[in-house]
């Protein structure tokens, strides 16, 4: 079994999974595997996969399990051996989690912990409506809580920022309903496995970051 860290970030849309995954992966040299980013890349490229999944993403519905599982298991398998990773947005249903468990068990590299980012709906909607994403490098901003130095321009690469198609309020509400019905059962699923770590994600991002660091440090100590 490889000692590289393997984590899942779980939580509703806008909980801050992507923000925290970006920080932790940079700090620890982990691969940042965001299922949403993988899908958006395919959609932008106009690939056959992108055409197949685009209508689900635009409506805030989940992409079918068999498609999503194949894509993410391939993404994990393509990592150099021994690479640690954060899975952000995958798995999102119990069948996806079961397929992931089976695949990781086969190679002897199980997940170390599942960080569950908890935030109530009103905060989520407020955050997502103000979110902006770099059209070039994918960095996240928030016009209220995490503005770029120059409005509309990425601090990291200077490219323009844009709003995601599925960040309109009515689509966000649908994504929340989908989360509560189809993804929230994973909380009990991972609790039963003793992997769940609840994180209060309603506090400022820097505070969430500190808690994430503490959780990761406790995993380091356990070896
Ligand atoms: P995906 O891209 O995974 O979206 P999501 O899970 O809905 O998550 P978000 O990216 O919206 O939020 P986040 O938690 O990463 O928050 P962020 O850090 O950006 O999925 C998109 C779609 O793809 C799905 O709807 C589905 O169609 C499809 N899909 C993806 N995975 C799938 C799967 N496994 N199966 C089937 N379909 C799948 O933060 C949000 C905002 O808040 C930002 O502006 C940020 O700056 C700000 N912020 C972050 N933290 C804080 C804080 N602590 N305080 C204040 N502001 C904060």
What pLDDT score does 2 carry? 53
Q: Which long-range contacts (CB under 8 A, 24 or more apart) does 49-56 make?
A: none
What pLDDT score does 222 carry? 73
CA distance 164 to 134: 10
CB 145 less than 6 A from any atom of ligand 1: yes
From the number of C-beta atoms within 10 Å of its C-beta (0-12, 13-18, 19+), residue 81 rates as exposed
Q: Is the pLDDT of residue 3 over 90?
A: no
Q: Is the pLDDT of residue 1 over 60?
A: no
138 or 183, higher pLDDT:
183
CA distance 139 to 21: 11
Which of the 8 DSSP states describes residue 2?
-
pTM of the entire predicted model = 0.93
Residue nearest ligand 1's atom 50 by CA: 16
pLDDT over 90 percentage in the chain: 86
How far, in Å, from the CA of 15 to the mean position of ligand 1? 7
What pLDDT score does 29 carry? 95
CB 208 less than 6 A from any atom of ligand 1: yes
What pLDDT score does 165 carry? 86
What residues are paired with 32 via a beta bridge? Answer: 86
Helix (H, G, I), strand (E, B) or coil at 190: helix
Question: What is the distance in angstroms between the CA of the first residue and the CA of the last residue of the chain?
Answer: 12
Q: Closest Cα to residue 161, out of 133, 202, 130, 187?
A: 133
How far, in Å, from the CA of 18 to the mean position of ligand 1? 6
Q: What is the mean pLDDT of residues 65-82?
A: 96
């Amino acid at each position: 079994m490889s000692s590289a860290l393997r984590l899942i970030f779980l939580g509703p849309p806008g909980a801050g999974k992507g923000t925290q995954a970006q920080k932790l992966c940079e700090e620890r040299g982990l691969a940042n595997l965001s299922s949403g980013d993988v899908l958006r890349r395919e959609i932008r490229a106009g690939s056959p996969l992108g055409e197949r999944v685009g209508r689900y993403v635009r409506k805030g519905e989940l992409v079918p399990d068999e498609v999503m599982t194949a894509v993410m298991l391939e993404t994990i398998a393509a990592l150099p051996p021994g690479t640690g990773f954060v899975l952000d947005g995958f798995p999102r249903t119990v069948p996806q989690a079961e397929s992931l468990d089976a695949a990781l068990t086969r190679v002897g590299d199980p997940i170390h912990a599942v960080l569950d980012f908890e935030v109530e709906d009103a905060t989520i909607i407020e955050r997502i409506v103000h979110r902006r994403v770099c059209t070039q490098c994918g960095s996240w901003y928030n016009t209220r809580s995490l503005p770029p130095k120059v409005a509309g321009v990425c601090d990291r690469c200077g490219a323009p920022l844009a709003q995601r198609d599925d960040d309109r309020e009515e689509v966000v509400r649908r994504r929340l309903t989908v989360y509560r019905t189809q993804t929230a059962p994973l909380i009990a699923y991972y609790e039963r496995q003793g992997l769940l770590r609840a994180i209060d994600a309603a506090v400022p991002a820097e505070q969430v970051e500190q808690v994430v660091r503490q959780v990761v440090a406790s995993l380091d100590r356990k070896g």
